[in-house]
Amino acid sequence: MKSANRELVDRLAAEYVLGTLRYRARRRFERWLLSPQVGAIVKAWEDRLAGLEPQLTPVTPSAAVWRGIENKLELRKMQRRPAMRWLGVAASLIFFVAVGVFITRPPAQPPMTAQSSLQTDPQTIYWRVEVLGDNQELNLRVQTVHDLPAGKSHELWALPEGGAPVSLGVLPHTGDHHRVLNAAQRAALANSKQIAVSLEVEGGSPTGAPTEVLFAAPLSRA
């Protein structure tokens, strides 16, 4: 990042965290958050300004709040839904095996151990996904911009065998991105032979499960 850009991003990040950006500026800035560099600058400001958090006496909300959350996330339905049904849907989709392309990268990152090309036909690869190290990190490289209706996001999923899909986060639409996975994501990815892309409301699935699966692709282990 150029130093002038870095200064601008730093200033916007500070006011984003403080909360003084106007609504549209906030939304615009959030698009930049997909960049790990911008994410790190925001995180640094969150840590700095955490010192301003006030001490407050806890207040118990009414029982209606939990009921509302249960309804919005359809938690009761989720408890009854067998995970295998969704995997059956995913398995019926057409996949294309990608030819592994090894790309050299700085030594700071673990070596690539698996990769996948997310595509719906042999000519058009939308995202190239590289798994680094022991399923610890991902590189996401946008190859072709996939159509995205307004107010929607694309989300990436690990499809662990015998388990429910686990979100690997919302997919970016420009550039190359690096993402560190948490323990649950690593475990899910380690047991996955495929990954999938779903269409979600902006920001990701409201239920914790994929809403509309667009396509899936195999993971080629190196």
Q: Does 190 bind other proteins (CB under 8 A)?
A: no
Q: Does 22 bind other proteins (CB under 8 A)?
A: yes
Query: Least distance in Å: CB of 63 to other proteins?
Result: 10
- The site that binds other proteins (CB under 8 A) totals a number of residues, namely 56
Q: Does 206 bind other proteins (CB under 8 A)?
A: yes
> Who's near 210: CB < 8 A, 6+ residues apart?
86, 155, 157, 165, 196, 198, 200
Q: Which is nearer to other proteins, 110 or 208 (CB)?
A: 208
Residue 191 region, left (φ>0) first, then alpha (ψ -120 to 50), else beta? alpha
Q: Does 184 bind other proteins (CB under 8 A)?
A: yes
For the beta carbon of residue 90, count every other beta carbon within 10 angstroms: 19
Instruction: Give the residue, chosen from 112, 171, 209, 217, that forms a contact with other proteins under the rule CB under 8 A.
Output: 209
Cα separation, 39 vs 33, whole angstroms: 5
Query: Least distance in Å: CB of 198 to other proteins?
Result: 13
Q: Does 182 bind other proteins (CB under 8 A)?
A: yes
Query: Least distance in Å: CB of 12 to other proteins?
Result: 11
Give exposure, 108-138, as e/b (b: 16+ Cβ within 10 Å).
Answer: eeeebbbbbbbbbeeeebbbbbbbbeebbbb
Query: Least distance in Å: CB of 169 to other proteins?
Result: 6
Cα separation, 158 vs 200, whole angstroms: 16
Residue 118: name the closest of 220, 11, 14, 7 by CA: 220
Cross-sheet strand order for the sheet of 137-142: 176-180, 137-142, 124-132, 112-121, 220-221
Q: Which amino acid is at 207?
A: T
Interface positions, 31-90, toward other proteins (CB under 8 A): 43, 46-62, 64-66, 68-69, 72-73, 75, 78-79
Query: Least distance in Å: CB of 101 to other proteins?
Result: 27
Q: Does 123 bind other proteins (CB under 8 A)?
A: no
> Who's near 209: CB < 8 A, 6+ residues apart?
78, 81, 86, 164, 165
Query: Least distance in Å: CB of 65 to other proteins?
Result: 5
Q: Does 213 bind other proteins (CB under 8 A)?
A: no
Q: Does 191 bind other proteins (CB under 8 A)?
A: no
Residue ranges in contact with other proteins by CB under 8 A: 10-11, 14-15, 18-23, 26, 43, 46-62, 64-66, 68-69, 72-73, 75, 78-79, 164, 166-169, 180, 182-185, 188, 203-206, 208-209
